Structure 1
Amino acid sequence: MKKIILFSLVTSLLFTSDLFSQSGRIKLKKKNKTEKKTETKAPKKSKTPKYSDFVKKSTKTDDGLFKVHENKDKFLYEIPNSYLGKEMLLVTRIKEIPANLGGGYVNAGSKINTQVIVWEKYKNKILLKVKSYNAIAEDNLPIYKSVKANNLEPVIYAFDVKSQNIDSTAVLVDVTKFFSTDVKAISGLPSYYRKNYKVRRLDASRSFISSIKSYPKNIEVIQDFTFDADAPPSNRNTNTISMRINQSMILLPEEPMMSRVYDKRVGYFTIGNVDYSSEALKADSKRYIRRWRLEPKDEAAYNRGELVEPIKPIVYYLDPATPEKLRKYIKQGVDDWQKVFETAGFKNAIMAKMPPTKEEDPEFSMEDIRYSSIRYVASTTRNATGPSVSDPRSGEILESDIIWYHNHLRSYRNRYLLETGAANPSARTLDTPDEEIGDMMRMVIAHEVGHALGLPHNMAASYAYPTDSLRSGDFTQKNGIAATIMDYARYNYVAQPGDKNIRFIRQLGPYDHYAINWGYRKIPNVTSPEQEVKTLDKWIEEKGNDPIYRFGGQRFDPSAQTEGIGNDQVKSSTYGVKNLKIVAKNLPNWTSNQTNNYEDLNELYGELLSVWGRYVGHVTGNIGGVYEFNKKPSQQGAIYVPVSKNVQKESLNWLLNNVFKTQNWLLDKNILNKIDETGYTEKLGRYQDRNLATLLNYRTLERMIEAEVIQDDFYPASDMISDLRIGIFSEARSTKNVDLQRRKLQKSFIKRLGSLMSDKAATSTDISSIVRGELTTLKYQLNTASKRAINKISKYHYKDLIVNINNILDPK
């Protein structure tokens, strides 16, 4: 019994203990669950990621204008707050291109777009905005608010702020997507290329950011882009355009350079804006010249008239790819401008150098905006260019990359032979002496440097020198063949066989000194562009009556035509054609007879036609031409002066004899039967048609008709067309047969008159009346001529022309 009680007691105790223990265990489990939750709960993450989440030990950082961080294929900009709102220039260039993009005239280094940008913070984003200086106003004037409201700056991209740096002085943004996708605002493939080449899309799988490098004043991004295109410019079977784009972001100067007011009497490239701060009764359109910022180291000495070095000279670095034998000529082409800048008071203002080696400066890069360059481009294009980048706020030129195409010297060799070979024995070869080739290259570079300094073409400068002076050795050695290197006056084609000591190649001239002095000389004691105008006007008016210092470039002005030399187009072209006839006769001996193939003969014959066409065009420009002499009211004389009647009639007679009469010397069978099976008369006919179209052009005839109002001695348009008709149809007044070339020309004449009859603008002027009268007269003349004793084809030809005239006079 005791055992049973004891057992029960023990059992009871155990049960109770277990029960208590279970109860305790339940409580313990609850407690443990609570503790477990506390132990396993993750700490709360900060809403804003840390700087260290993006910039790690493995991150590659390039310090410069902004810090650029690279994590594998991700790029971040660390933008200092102090640069938010600062104006920068974004320049989009083509760094490497497929063959034949843009027809061969777009090259590696070509600028596609330039725009002022600002980085601005908005809430938790950084906005990239494009800022325009087309419309401006002083920010302290009430109208400034209206200018801002009516010229809202477009946002081209919005970036999320990823984080801030440790001391919160800069923000991090990821620029990967911006630079790796097809953002139209910075595209290197403009819309007209996309349309021409039928571009469908950017292929993201074949496009990427090649590199981003940060320099003290700029950041350079290189993008490798591949587009799907149905009609690419080359490698058509790939349906692909691949190109390498360079995006330069440049910090603009904190204090813009003081601008200089543009004056169209002196040639400069310009920037412009509309100023709503003007006190005039309208918004004031203003233009300022583009130029480098040259400031004297010693301003007091400069103001005393001493030659002073600039604080920052203009330095060009030669492309390491430049052939060694050409480097000295390129350098000379730059350094030649040193004497010109001395006229403006600066010594050692401009120079060319070879770039430093990697050992001398491992950070040097031709893409760095701090360095200007002369690029040597491996391209079959025959050209050279002198582009530059300027501050749109002031016109200050910040950087320049002159481009030289490899094949360009071949053009100069060919033209040297064709234009000077008659009078210049050393040009009568395909192997032009190195020193002469070098001199040509030197002058091409000098011309392109002129563009990079802000100077446009000045086609009036070649008209400054008397034609016969170009046959003088003393004159040409001293003065060259035009008053500026900025004209297209490449060679002396006027000099004749037997003329002695002639300079045949262009050089810098007095206009270059004058223009650089006008644009770059620092005027003392002025604080605004407007205060300079009185002095600038004085400099122009001191030279106002001297043709050497005249600037011109209008297409209607025969004294400002491309490729011409001398102040008498008829005389200059007569000399030129006389020389060309000698060259044409000797062309096989100077080419194919030396090389034992006809490639050079074919090429040079085609270019000979072009040279002849240019000489012809200079004379054609006289007819209906109007001289333009830019002046201010303080100067005497008219601005627009039509070419005299005598010069126009002389020019037309020259054209009838040297162009519209069949030029058998250009149809030399000793050349033609070696280079092509057909197309001879077609080629010559194109040049005849071109000049015919210029004479029978609505604008030409309109100027001739209106000359009656401002000129007593004018050449009536009706007389010109009548004289042209009589000359072109001279066979119709005799029993002469009409040769093949003339038959083509006569058809073209009637076709051109038909175009004028259908021109709506011409129907409200005397032009349609004159044309109708001339066609009626010609119809009667051809009808009579077709009955004379002439060959069969001439008869058929006349009858065909009569039908053509009837269709024009009575289209029904």
Structure 2
Amino acid sequence: MAAVRAVVYFGLLLSLKRVPLPVSASSTGEDKECRTGEIPEFPTFLQMGLNLQSLGEDDGGHSSAMLSKVRTGKAPCPSLFPDCVSLPQICENSSPNMFRLGRANAAGSANNPDNLVLDLTNVLANRAKVQVLVMALFKEGAYTDDQGLLAERATPLEDTSSTLLELRLSADGRSVDVYKPAMDLRTSDPQSVYALRAGVGNGLQASVPRLHCTSGTSGTSGTSGQERVIVDMSTLLELGFFVVDTSTLGFETTIIKAKDYPTNLDITVDYGPRVPLLRVGYTMVLLPEVPMAARENDDRLLYFDTQYRDKGSHRKQVRQKLSEAVDSHVSMIWRYNLRRLPDHTIRFYVDPSVPLRWRPYFKKGIEAWNEAFTLIERPAAVRAILPGDEDWPDDYDMSDVRFSAITWDVSEETLSMGIAKVDPRSGEILKCDVIMGDSWVKSYLDELEMEWVNFTNFLSKTPSVSVLMQQGLVEPGKTPLRRILELLQQGSADRKSRSFGFAAAYMQKRLPSNELQALLGSGLQEIVTHEVGHCLGLRHNFKGSLGVSQDCLRDFHCTALHGTTASVMDYVPVNLPRPGEALTHVWSPTIGEYDKLVIRYGYTHMQSPANDPGLEKVLEDVRRLAEGMQTCYDDDLYLGEDPSCLDYDLSADPLAYWEQQLDLYADVQRNLLEMSVAPRESYNLYGRAVHSILAGFLPEMGINAVYYLGGINNTYLHKYPDQSRRARQPMPADTQRRALAIILRILRPNSQGLLPPASNWPYLVNGNQLDGAIESVDLTDLVRRLRRLLLEEALRFERLLQVHKQENLLGPTEADAFPVSEFLSTLVYGVMSAGLDKITSDDERDLQRIFVQILSSKLPSDTEFIPAEVMTQLQYFRSFIHEMAEGALDRLPTTANGAEWSQCAAFNQTCTCTGLVRLRIENRSSSGLWSGTFKRCLPNDFMLNASDTDSPLSWCECLSLTKTDLDQREAQRLHVESLRHMLTSVVPGKV
């Protein structure tokens, strides 16, 4: 209703000529009411709408009809929120605060938004306009059993970069105009001001009518006789201060709390009519007239930044090209302004929602950053304030801009976030909140129980590839590798629990309660340090793990000094000792060397002007030091080129870490039944644990290894005369060979001990018995899916092109290359190592069949997109395996009474066969070979691609394999024959 009222007011005010606003005394005893000046030209209904005296009063039904809300019967503010009830009537509020909140009418309900008004007199007294930042977050979570979590406590509701508003008193003095200035386009060129203003518009959002106090009140108090500037708050609340989409919350509002402070105000509002109500906390802060001096961003030191285009012509800087001085691109890092903070200290308030047992670890995690600030002579720049501390504020509110809060949220996911609110004019961080999901402790405890270690929570952390494929999210060979990585790792915007293997280190060890709590606390401490780093302005650096050697990771004194990564802004797994080794730091206990360097760049010499040559010398020294460290951004992770940017790897030798993890998984499988299922627990816990390894962690590790094939290490280097490093460097050939060895190892999970022992197979069930659904775990299907995924990704055209590209980065005299020929030969020899001319296991035959099917599928199509040398290699190795098959058939004798193929079904019919089924397509000798009693005669069922014109010309044939005519030698011969058929089945004209 208020939104409609604002539009009506605005239109009418524009249509009226400017008239004086006489202040008349009331003779009705109502001289302490706030109302508008009496303007005879205004229509009657408009006077009633502007007359605050009518709010909450009976005036014959006219104004109550105009101002009625859908919600009725609003109760007074709860006693829990006395600030709302104690709001003074606005005309009696003589507070010196820049913003003054108050009630329009003493008789009106305090929680009725129509009765809440804002006095802007002090803030606009000496300025024609002011700039403010508006912030909004959910003050309470909202949960229903039928819909789940509708709102998570402390979740932000506005975009950090677009919350700046500008308030101006209109030219005629009758309204306060609200603008949302364009921040992506600005100008410091005086000659471009008019063009920019005309080109982008003024950003006017609304014009809020001005209300007035009558004479005889305290309406002139504190303003030297100047008339007050008062506006109705209901419009701003219903429109979400122009930064929150309230249409998704509901336009019916109830004020729960309202409080003003020297330079900011806080309002808590319930939005309806949906049930439960959604409680939102707004804070509006006055931005300083003079913004903080900005500091230039540098891509070697990873800060969050504010970017904009400075239109017009500018003075050329020393390091600029002439073109860069026109319409310049500006990037300013985010950082706190220590000079503006009390005691020059960044305070983080640990919210009362954080359990008491974890607060000391939160404090350590926060204040760990002082190690970096000590190097710039600010040893106490960061401080944690806990509930119960002497300086814990009585008026603490997590939505208040004065308090950067760390909250403990009830969340369905294991994650954490650090969210900064920034002055977009300068990059100054005004407030930053950290949201910690309470499921971190549950996640860790699921991996390390005091008495029973279990693996039952893995699927909630890493989605299995089989589930992703069943949902249609992953199609082997077709889904981009970048997308698979995103699905496997669930993105990297939020910090998530990924600490598999934690339990294995303690399989034979039960921890006392105090040791367990300390271990979990140290994990939470590392997460808090990471999120506070975001609050200080730092971005992720997923190459931080490369800065610590494996030897250091096994040395307690070394990790105490350097941490487990050169940057705590990396995502790293837990640092587990090898069997028999002493326990070192499981989580990083401190910030890394790179973190210290970044803090030095952002926070040193904050008082120096930007053009101070001494400052530039200090910053340039830091930039040069940064070039000696490895860095990468979030987006580098998914560009598909630089594997050293992967998250959740560990040490300067990530492949050694994964090799160690494979050894760990093999050890885990031997003990997993005992580890995952306690007495009187369901065996479905065992099935879930096995499923999580085979369909979750092994595929992820394999995909990461594929990422190294053709990998290129890209570095953010700048040009210097003494620069000896390269901006891009192929992964060493030996590193790529080791990555391929890891892939080959995962392709044979049974021989590598990565499958459960056969004695445990009778207990492999998976599901949720409480929901009445349970099924057996199909190990064969999981292994087949795993193989198909890894082989499709290793042989996809994009990967072959990547290997070819990195091969050509090296000069002709440089020998350390990993060519396509070596990649394919190693893969072919590795998969086909069991040979074809001797009896092999069903498992080996399955691996060979999947590989040959994928390899042969790469030849008939898209040849014009593949370089000739790559296609030549593919054709060569197809011919090589074909010759292997031909030779094997000559050396493999058949049974005396060999079975023959016979047609069993036409296209789209069902073949009933005890033995092997193959699909025949006209113009092809044969395609596919499958076992089974029933088989649908469709190309898709044989995992083949066939055109519509081919499909009706296909049929199925059966080879009866009964006990009397089948032996292992015959099965091997049929297997070899099927491989030969696959390799000779081509579409005419394509090859």
Pick the TM interval, shorter chain: 0.7 to 0.9
Match among 584, 601, 611 for residue 669 of structure 2: 584
TM-superposed deviation, 1:296: 9.6
Q: TM-score when scaled to structure 1?
A: 0.78
Instruction: Show CA shifts across 1:681-708 (max 9, x none).
Output: 4445555455445434555433322224
Q: Counterpart of 1:704?
A: 803
Structure 2 CA distance for partners of 1:755 and 1:207, relative to 1, 3 Å: farther
Moved more, 773-782 or 692-701: 773-782
Is 1:318–1:354's contact at 8 Å kept on the other side of the alignment? Answer: yes
Is 1:747–1:801's contact at 8 Å kept on the other side of the alignment? Answer: no
Match among 554, 557, 574 for residue 471 of structure 1: 554
Q: Counterpart of 2:406?
A: 374
Is 2:543–2:570's contact at 8 Å kept on the other side of the alignment? Answer: yes
What is the rounded CA distance, in whole Å, between the counterparts of 2:542 and 2:852 in structure 1?
30
TM-superposed deviation, 1:642: 0.7
Q: Counterpart of 1:364?
A: 396
Query: 1:118 and 2:166 equivalent?
Result: yes
Structure 2 CA distance for partners of 1:184 and 1:543, relative to 1, 3 Å: closer
Structure 2, unaligned stretches of length 5 or more? 1-36, 58-86, 214-218, 317-321, 454-499, 767-775, 893-967
Structure 2 CA distance for partners of 1:109 and 1:679, relative to 1, 3 Å: farther
TM-superposed deviation, 1:398: 0.8
SS in 2 for 1:161: strand
Match among 240, 263, 269 for residue 304 of structure 2: 269
Q: Counterpart of 1:76?
A: 117
Q: Counterpart of 1:325?
A: 357
Amino acid at match of 1:514: L
Query: 1:639 and 2:727 equivalent?
Result: yes
Q: Counterpart of 2:191?
A: 142
Q: How does 1:14-93 map onto structure 2 within 5 Å?
A: 46=40, 53=53, 60-61=89-90, 64-70=97-103, 71-72=108-109, 73=112, 74=114, 75-80=116-121, 81-82=124-125, 85-93=129-137
Match among 200, 218, 234 for residue 151 of structure 1: 200
Q: Counterpart of 1:574?
A: 659
Match among 255, 264, 282 for residue 247 of structure 1: 282
Q: Counterpart of 1:654?
A: 742
Q: Counterpart of 1:30?
A: none
Q: Counterpart of 2:756?
A: 667
TM-superposed deviation, 1:90: 2.3
What is the rounded CA distance, in whole Å, between the counterparts of 2:40 and 2:878 in structure 1?
90
What is the rounded CA distance, in whole Å, between the counterparts of 2:147 and 2:793 in structure 1?
28
User: What number of residue pairs does the alignment pair up?
Assistant: 731
Structure 2 CA distance for partners of 1:170 and 1:496, relative to 1, 3 Å: same
Instruction: Show CA shifts across 1:752-810 (max 9, x none).
Output: 98589767994688766765666676667667778956565994797499569847787
What is the rounded CA distance, in whole Å, between the counterparts of 2:300 and 2:758 in structure 1?
50
TM-superposed deviation, 1:347: 2.4
Identity across the alignment (%): 19
Q: Counterpart of 1:621?
A: 707
Q: TM-score when scaled to structure 2?
A: 0.65
Structure 2 CA distance for partners of 1:707 and 1:674, relative to 1, 3 Å: closer
Is 1:737–1:790's contact at 8 Å kept on the other side of the alignment? Answer: no
Match among 526, 533, 536 for residue 453 of structure 1: 536
Structure 2 CA distance for partners of 1:602 and 1:627, relative to 1, 3 Å: same
Q: How does 1:1-12 map onto structure 2 within 5 Å?
A: none
TM-superposed deviation, 1:315: 1.0
Structure 2 CA distance for partners of 1:363 and 1:410, relative to 1, 3 Å: closer
Q: Counterpart of 1:439?
A: 522
Structure 2 CA distance for partners of 1:85 and 1:296, relative to 1, 3 Å: closer
Query: 1:283 and 2:327 equivalent?
Result: yes
Amino acid at match of 2:344: K
Amino acid at match of 2:656: K
SS in 2 for 1:665: coil
Structure 2 CA distance for partners of 1:466 and 1:203, relative to 1, 3 Å: closer
Instruction: Show CA shifts across 1:329-382 (max 9, x none).
Output: 112211222222212210221111124799985533222110111101122321
Query: 1:176 and 2:234 equivalent?
Result: yes
TM-superposed deviation, 1:318: 1.5
TM-superposed deviation, 1:226: 4.6
Moved more, 409-418 or 566-575: 409-418
Structure 2 CA distance for partners of 1:497 and 1:363, relative to 1, 3 Å: closer
What is the rounded CA distance, in whole Å, between the counterparts of 1:794 and 1:121 in structure 2?
90
What is the rounded CA distance, in whole Å, between the counterparts of 2:402 and 2:234 in structure 1?
25
Amino acid at match of 2:411: S
SS in 2 for 1:403: strand
More helix by share: 1
Instruction: Show CA shifts across 1:641-677 (max 9, x none).
Output: 0112232123212321234554553334566624421
Is 1:157–1:178's contact at 8 Å kept on the other side of the alignment? Answer: no
Structure 2 CA distance for partners of 1:536 and 1:241, relative to 1, 3 Å: same
Match among 316, 320, 335 for residue 367 of structure 2: 335
Structure 2 CA distance for partners of 1:105 and 1:664, relative to 1, 3 Å: farther
Please provide the CA RMSD for this pair: 4.2
Structure 2 CA distance for partners of 1:388 and 1:728, relative to 1, 3 Å: same
Amino acid at match of 2:351: D
Query: 1:716 and 2:819 equivalent?
Result: yes
Structure 2 CA distance for partners of 1:809 and 1:334, relative to 1, 3 Å: farther
Structure 2 CA distance for partners of 1:806 and 1:421, relative to 1, 3 Å: same
Q: Greater Rg, structure 1 or structure 2?
A: 1
Match among 582, 587, 593 for residue 500 of structure 1: 582
Structure 2 CA distance for partners of 1:521 and 1:188, relative to 1, 3 Å: farther
Moved more, 641-650 or 501-510: 501-510
Structure 2 CA distance for partners of 1:753 and 1:290, relative to 1, 3 Å: farther
Amino acid at match of 1:286: V
Amino acid at match of 1:157: A
What is the rounded CA distance, in whole Å, between the counterparts of 1:440 and 1:612 in structure 2?
24
Amino acid at match of 2:166: V
Q: How does 1:278-317 map onto structure 2 within 5 Å?
A: 278=314, 279=316, 280-281=322-323, 282-295=326-339, 311-317=343-349
Structure 2 CA distance for partners of 1:472 and 1:186, relative to 1, 3 Å: closer
TM-superposed deviation, 1:627: 1.0
Match among 394, 401, 404 for residue 433 of structure 2: 401
Query: 1:345 and 2:390 equivalent?
Result: no
Is 2:834–2:840's contact at 8 Å kept on the other side of the alignment? Answer: yes
Moved more, 563-572 or 242-251: 242-251
Q: How does 1:508-587 map onto structure 2 within 5 Å?
A: 508=590, 509-522=592-605, 525-528=608-611, 532-542=615-625, 544-545=627-628, 547=629, 554-555=636-637, 556-587=641-672
Instruction: Show CA shifts across 1:187-232 (max 9, x none).
Output: 167xxxxxxxxxxx7765x66555544333333344434588xxxx
Is 1:627–1:642's contact at 8 Å kept on the other side of the alignment? Answer: yes
What is the rounded CA distance, in whole Å, between the counterparts of 1:523 and 1:268 in structure 2?
16
Is 1:423–1:499's contact at 8 Å kept on the other side of the alignment? Answer: no
Q: Counterpart of 1:236?
A: none
Structure 1, unaligned stretches of length 5 or more? 1-42, 190-200, 229-239, 298-309
